[in-house]
């Protein structure tokens, strides 16, 4: 197994066109469709990093702006931020571009977490992530805090043990 | 406008069959497809409460067990927990049942938040939620804490102002 | 094998949102899409009763009202009425609710019949149905008449041998 | 408006390939998918006859053989048998062909009934059907009996008034 | 193996209804959806000729008229023109019919080429095509010229060796 | 209107996961599905260049390798090569990557041509393309030859007038 891979190697871009069946009766993109596309983009990214089939284990707080409309072009970019032995956190950015105005706005950001499976469906270790750019270093560091939040919310860690997170509540950043 | 409605009136159940296109090459349900179904079930619930078209504004931390397989029957139940003037929080429970073993297991829980729109796409006020059962009262109360967490994660509230949440980090519950 | 199961154990509810691709150019739900959803709801119900994979063997006369529109919420309920050794009759009720008017109307009723298959695809015996409510008893009794009609229409029974049905044509009910 | 059209002018053929998402876990075509395809084929046929958008009003007893498998080629043929002022009955035949064995078997027959709508969604009169072949004449005649059965089952006609149908139960055909 | 089959035996007709998700925001059918339908119709035709699973190997220049609209009925006809040992060329004609005007216009023509595979995925020989009608003879003859063009464009033949094609550029036809 | 835009501004990347419904019974990606994805990627690219809704007018010879399998990750890249007053030629490259082997192979190349439409559906002029890289210059130049070939195949130009193409048949390149 490869022990570590650069964050940039998992970079994935996906473009989608908002079609009628993706929208509600006000012609707004439905959130569930976007969550589905984001999951596929994030899974492709995690597969590039791990060279294994992956399954989603958690989705972090995702917030939606209400501007995505029928006919807009969606651009989803995904990149693995950090690996924790068998799990990988993937960061997503979503942009929506209106044709013909050409206005392009960030629709949302999210973090999806995956584990990699071997052919028999068992969880396997994944390579470490090597951050290179300044942003990759920042995301690599903050991944620990987000992981503690996930563990608390899943009831697998006591809030008082979440050292990284407690700091967040004593001083602002 | 109706000023308040019982939580139970928004109760929605959705059954889905896991078909080949919903699975990866290991025959596991892909997380994105489930997120999409959950969004539709939650939107129907929020529409029952508000009698308006709704759009997803946020999805809370969702964690997936890895057991949902091709051919399983998914049961998603959704109910509005609390309304905050123009937004509604919907709680979802997902169960997967294997045919023919008959084994049924809770797959996950999640919270989706929606706002209601009028015919011109403008945000409108929604009725208050009247909790009745013990569980509905508990979810109504804890909704405030989850809302503060969402506002912090969206950068719209400073952690030190999240009174409800700070309490969480000083003593366990 | 379980020899008998209560009718209520097979009760299944499915909610669907009428999306653009489910409608014709007048924004009416197309009948075929509803027949497809009904088949899935009925199959889930028959699988709950039999704990086996099931396949549709017949669909009884279904009549459609013309009111289901784009954006409506469809509620399909399904319950096994009676088993005939290897086949199960499932009764469906379909309701359509308009958002935002809140008007909810029964769209149609139908009967779907299934047989259960084992892993090698062979037909297997299914548990008897125990009716409990008054309506379940009524549906259990009338299932015999509907079965004779199906057998006649499939050319597997001569009209003169359909004792239950002949009675129908001598006095009204 | 054209007052009458030949039955043959509404003839429609549709071929479909049975794909993974159309099948259950035993690789059998699910009945609901076939009902959906049949509805589209029948609607196209009724549109050719009426030159209007049509909506399904009823589906007669459809029975399924269990042989249709993943990868099979489905051939659906549809033709209007008779018009009753505003409604049209369409007869469907479905064949399934296995590749590579080349074995082709009739899977089922069915009758779908449609009404035609104008641009404002109001029901309109449709041309009469002129049967030409022997089979078309036979189907034209028997359409009356099937219509009485539909009206009885929909509770719109009393069994004792169904003269055509009563005859069916006194002597075999 | 059958050594030769009549062209007419591979004749395939497919009707499709243009639904909302098949169109862009101007309600025009998107070219990609039509290419997909054409591929399925052509594959069914090539499977009828070869009695094997087939895979697309090339698609010839397809040109689209811009008139196909939401709600139109598409008719695709496909027939094998000629076989070259292991490959088959299929000719497609596409018509679009407007409901309710009844206007029917040829939308486009195209050639798709397939090879047949056995159960292990290996390429197999296919029967020769016997042209019968005048049009079939013409298409059989011109298939050679189209094949040379494909080989040149795929870089597998030098333009100067394409005897059939060179003739095309010296005198008009 | 902007008179000219750099080729690179229209660059579009799309990743797709090959799901069960995209494959035949040998688990090979069906050509038609890929043609559909390519059309969407190319349309997005042409929309970026023109800032208008676009419709496909032609698809050039596309040849498929037979290696794309269920579970593979498809990467489609698209860029406008040249504009001809109202039409734009888009070049596509398709790569398929196998997970877990990590082997990535070019699956095919193709040219799709689009015209841009205004809100009333009328064809509009599009900006000229400014090629920058060596490859962009090469594609810009050869676009003329491909256009002559399209015009000849569509019967809109006589072969003897296709000066650029005739040269192709006298000396190899």
Confidence of residue A169 (pLDDT cuts 50, 70, 90): low
Chain E residues inside the 8 Å CB shell of F115:
66
Instruction: For residue B118, give its domain range.
Output: 4-131
Q: What is the ipTM metric for this complex?
A: 0.87
Q: What is the mean pLDDT of residues C90-113?
A: 91
Confidence of residue B173 (pLDDT cuts 50, 70, 90): very low
Sign for the pseudo-dihedral over CA of A160, A162, A167, A173: negative
CATH number of D123's domain: 3.10.129.10
pLDDT value of residue D171: 46
Taking an 8 Å cut-off on Cβ atoms, the answer to whether B20 and D24 are in contact is no
Chain D residues inside the 8 Å CB shell of C168:
159
Chain D residues inside the 8 Å CB shell of E101:
51
Question: Can you tell me the distance from the alpha carbon of B119 to that of A46, in angstroms, rounded to the nearest whole number?
Answer: 41
Question: Can you tell me the distance from the alpha carbon of B114 to that of B56, in angstroms, rounded to the nearest whole number?
Answer: 4
Question: Can you tell me the distance from the alpha carbon of A96 to that of A37, in angstroms, rounded to the nearest whole number?
Answer: 13
Task: Give the model confidence (pLDDT) of F127-140 as tens digits.
Answer: 999 999 999 999 99
Strands A123-124 and A104-117 turn out to be antiparallel
pLDDT value of residue B169: 62
Chain B residues inside the 8 Å CB shell of C51:
99-102
Strands E128-130 and E4-6 turn out to be parallel
For residue F150, is it within any domain?
no
For residue F60, is it within any domain?
yes
Q: Is B128 exposed, middle or buried (0-12, 13-18, 19+ CB in 10 A)?
A: middle
D169, pLDDT greater than 80: no
**Helix axes E163-170 and E134-153, enclosed angle (nearest 10):** 100
Pull the structure tokens for residue F89.
């030629």
Question: Can you tell me the distance from the alpha carbon of C90 to that of C11, in angstroms, rounded to the nearest whole number?
Answer: 10
Taking an 8 Å cut-off on Cβ atoms, the answer to whether F71 and B24 are in contact is yes
Report yes or no: C55 at the D interface, CB cutoff 8 Å: yes
Report yes or no: F157 at the E interface, CB cutoff 8 Å: no
For residue B75, is it within any domain?
yes
Q: What is the mean pLDDT of residues D22-42?
A: 92
Question: Can you tell me the distance from the alpha carbon of F48 to that of F5, in angstroms, rounded to the nearest whole number?
Answer: 10
Mean pLDDT of residues grouped by 10 in chain F (173 residues)? 91 91 89 94 95 92 82 95 96 92 88 93 95 97 88 78 70 43
Name which of A28, A45, A13, A31 is nearest A129 in CA terms. A45
For residue F139, is it within any domain?
no
Task: Give the model confidence (pLDDT) of A71-99 as tens digits.
Answer: 999 999 999 999 999 999 999 999 999 98
What does DSSP assign to residue C149? Answer: H
pLDDT value of residue A102: 80
Q: Is E97 exposed, middle or buried (0-12, 13-18, 19+ CB in 10 A)?
A: buried
CB burial readout C5-41, b (16+ within 10 A) else e? bebeebebbbbbbbbbebbbbbbbbbbbbbbbbbbbb
Pull the structure tokens for residue C120.
């090698």
pLDDT value of residue A54: 94
pLDDT value of residue A131: 98
Residue E63 contacts residue F154 (beta carbons within 8 Å): yes
For residue F161, is it within any domain?
no
Confidence of residue C163 (pLDDT cuts 50, 70, 90): confident
Confidence of residue A162 (pLDDT cuts 50, 70, 90): confident
Phi/psi region, residue D27 (left: phi>0; alpha: psi -120 to 50; beta: rest), is left
Distance of CA F138 to the CA centre of its chain: 15
The strand ranges marked E within E60-124 are 62-63, 73-84, 87-97, 104-117, 123-124
pLDDT value of residue D153: 72
Report yes or no: D32 at the B interface, CB cutoff 8 Å: no
Number of domains in chain F: 1
Chain F residues inside the 8 Å CB shell of D70:
25
Confidence of residue C173 (pLDDT cuts 50, 70, 90): very low
Chain A residues inside the 8 Å CB shell of B115:
66
For residue D62, is it within any domain?
yes
Helix (H, G, I), strand (E, B) or coil at F112: strand
Residue A13 contacts residue A141 (beta carbons within 8 Å): no
D172, pLDDT greater than 50: no
Specify which residues F124 forms β-bridges with: F116
Q: Any idea which of D5-9, D104-108, E112-116 has the lowest mean pLDDT? A: D104-108
Interface A-B, measured as beta-carbon pairs within 8 A, has a size of 145
Taking an 8 Å cut-off on Cβ atoms, the answer to whether B14 and C14 are in contact is yes
- What is the full per-residue pLDDT of chain E (173 aa) written as tens digits? 689 999 999 999 988 999 998 998 888 999 999 999 999 999 999 999 999 999 999 998 788 876 799 999 999 999 999 999 999 999 999 999 998 788 889 988 899 999 999 988 899 999 999 999 999 999 999 999 888 888 877 778 887 787 777 766 654 44
A101, pLDDT greater than 90: no
Report yes or no: F24 at the D interface, CB cutoff 8 Å: yes
Chain F residues inside the 8 Å CB shell of B24:
71
Note if the bond before D100 is cis, omega within 30 degrees: yes
User: To the nearest whole angstrom, how far is the Cα of E20 from the nearest Cα of chain F?
Assistant: 16
pLDDT value of residue C66: 64
pLDDT value of residue F119: 87
Name which of C3, C5, C2 is nearest C140 in CA terms. C5
CB atoms within 10 A of CB A11: 14
Report yes or no: D21 at the F interface, CB cutoff 8 Å: yes
Task: Give the model confidence (pLDDT) of B98-112 as tens digits.
Answer: 987 888 999 888 999
Taking an 8 Å cut-off on Cβ atoms, the answer to whether F149 and E59 are in contact is no
Question: Can you tell me the distance from the alpha carbon of A39 to that of A123, in angstroms, rounded to the nearest whole number?
Answer: 19
C79, pLDDT greater than 90: yes
Taking an 8 Å cut-off on Cβ atoms, the answer to whether F15 and A12 are in contact is yes
DSSP string, C13-49: EEEEE--GGGB-TTSBBPHHHHHHHHHHHHHHHHHHH
Residue F60 contacts residue F22 (beta carbons within 8 Å): no
Task: Give the model confidence (pLDDT) of B28-76 as tens digits.
Answer: 999 999 999 999 999 999 999 999 999 999 998 798 876 799 999 999 9
Interface E-F, measured as beta-carbon pairs within 8 A, has a size of 145
Q: Which of C20, C24, C25 sits opposite E21 (nearest CB)?
A: C20
The terminus-to-terminus CA distance of chain F in angstroms comes to: 38
What is Dmax (Cα atoms) for chain F?
A: 52
Report yes or no: F25 at the E interface, CB cutoff 8 Å: yes
User: To the nearest whole angstrom, how far is the Cα of E139 from the nearest Cα of chain D?
Assistant: 24
pLDDT value of residue D157: 82
Predicted model pTM: 0.89
For residue F96, is it within any domain?
yes
- Mean pLDDT of all residues belonging to chain A: 89
pLDDT value of residue D138: 95
Q: What is the mean pLDDT of residues D25-43?
A: 93
Report yes or no: D70 at the F interface, CB cutoff 8 Å: yes
pLDDT value of residue C170: 57
Give which of D24, D30, D33 to mutate to test B binding, by max B Cβ within 10 Å.
D24
Dihedrals φ, ψ of A131, to 5°? -75, 145
For residue E154, is it within any domain?
no
User: To the nearest whole angstrom, how far is the Cα of B120 from the nearest Cα of chain A?
Assistant: 8
pLDDT value of residue D130: 97
CB burial readout A135-158, b (16+ within 10 A) else e? ebeebbebbbebbbbbbbbeeebe
Taking an 8 Å cut-off on Cβ atoms, the answer to whether E169 and F172 are in contact is no
Interface B-D, measured as beta-carbon pairs within 8 A, has a size of 10
């Amino acid at each position: 197994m490869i022990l570590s891979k650069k964050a940039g190697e998992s970079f994935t871009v996906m473009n989608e066109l908002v079609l009628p069946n993706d929208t509600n009766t006000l012609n707004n993109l439905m959130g569930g469709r976007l969550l589905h596309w984001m999951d596929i983009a994030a899974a492709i990214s995690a597969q590039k990093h791990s060279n294994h089939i992956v399954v989603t284990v958690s989705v972090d707080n995702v917030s939606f702006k209400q501007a995505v409309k029928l006919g807009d072009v969606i651009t989803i970019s995904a990149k693995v931020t950090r690996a924790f032995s068998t799990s990988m956190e993937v960061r997503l950015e979503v942009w929506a571009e209106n044709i013909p105005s050409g206005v392009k706005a960030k629709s949302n950001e999210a973090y999806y977490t995956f584990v990699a499976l071997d052919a028999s469906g068992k969880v396997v270790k994944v390579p470490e992530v090597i951050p290179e750019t300044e942003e990759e270093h920042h995301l690599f560091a903050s991944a620990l805090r987000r992981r503690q939040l996930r563990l608390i919310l899943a009831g697998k860690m006591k809030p008082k043990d979440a050292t990284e997170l407690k700091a967040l509540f004593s001083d602002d950043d």
